[in-house]
Chains A and B, each alone.
Chain A
């Protein structure tokens, strides 16, 4: 971390984190969004100072995912306080709370470990609201003596929360999923799907050369490249348009939202073919793509449930049970028809 200094408090040396993010912090955040080294993007658990805190300054609790820590400290400009960083294995607050690493046990243990009672006189901790998924406030009180105050969901609301005497408005308590939050997830989705898409595309490219006489490289180059393009366009449409259009795609199930994208790709592709009649393909191939494209886009958007902020496990279980078998059958029949189309 850039710009770490040290303060002496009650005879102890405590690292002080700046409230200003440096270029390396910003670049690190950008890389994490592209899934580059994001599993190692962490800060050391423990206690940090912000500004010039004393024994009466507030204590904020955070995860040791560096983006979580950076978000918090960058909202504490001009304020004095302490940040207690839990060991969440480099995972953000909400996900870590879901896994239990941002939890009662770790919090109580960390309070002991940094000897928090020797640093502050008061008995109050400010936690991000989403930490409540892993923390039981009353158990923390019983086990450590510290009272938990749940702050706002978003660090950006922290100054207003503090200025209002640690009161969160209803809005600060609500998780939303605005366009900006959905769009920042696109790069990581692209990267994580990337290898499967490249592999599938390579298979289509190679198999496209099969024909009744054996194998034709020139057919692989024409039909194969076309298959790869169709796959890439379908995949990119789902990964980009799924998150962007999420609230407006009809239907509650994500698989249905994805289905619309596939149908739109088919429609656009059909129009394209109408203008290029010489590119008209056989019935088998057409039927194959009509099955495969919606299956692909539907599956990709279904998997965006994990990144969304409002889907329940019960709902996803139900949706997976119904949608995935249909997607698999469509994809399998589609691939079969496409292969048959090579030989007729």
Chain B
């Protein structure tokens, strides 16, 4: 089966290739194979597979990666809209498993 992919051209992922030291942590922690390391630099090869989990940003030792980290949950977004807050995933629903 082909990789499941969500909407195109929406993610907020950015990589500053000039800063990158090629440590490879981003490629290691990314659960969707968004990065490759080539010539001691990270490169984004599959941006649309990014789910904005933030693991790469968290583990980049020189802050070369930025992403609007969050959970892609409609209920959390709706909770935020209803309460006038940021998306809130503290619902007691079964999403967290």
Contacts and interface: CB of A to CB of B under 8 A. Distances in A.
A302 B74 CA distance: 7
Q: Quick one: which of B29, B54, B68, B69 has the most chain A CB within 10 A?
A: B29
Interface size class of B (residues with CB under 8 A): 35 or more
Contacts of A38: 94, 97
A177 interface: yes
Contacts, number: 155
Contact of A133 (B12, B50, B53): B53
Interface in B1-47: 1-2, 4-8, 10-12, 25, 28-33
B32 A132 contact: no
Contacts of B55: 97, 129-130, 132-133
Contact of A136 (B7, B59, B74): B59
Given A153-B31, A192-B94, A306-B74, A313 B8 contact: no
Contact of B11 (A137, A138, A305, A314): A314
A91 interface: yes
A136 B29 CA distance: 11
B5 A39 contact: no
A341 B27 CA distance: 59
Interface string B40-76: 0000000001111111001101000000111111111
B6 A175 contact: no
Given A303-B75, A312-B7, 7 more contacts: A136-B58, A185-B94, A306-B89, A313-B69, A313-B73, A313-B87, A318-B7
15 contacts: A98-B71, A173-B28, A177-B4, A247-B2, A252-B7, A306-B74, A309-B4, A310-B5, A312-B10, A313-B69, A314-B52, A314-B68, A315-B11, A319-B7, A320-B78
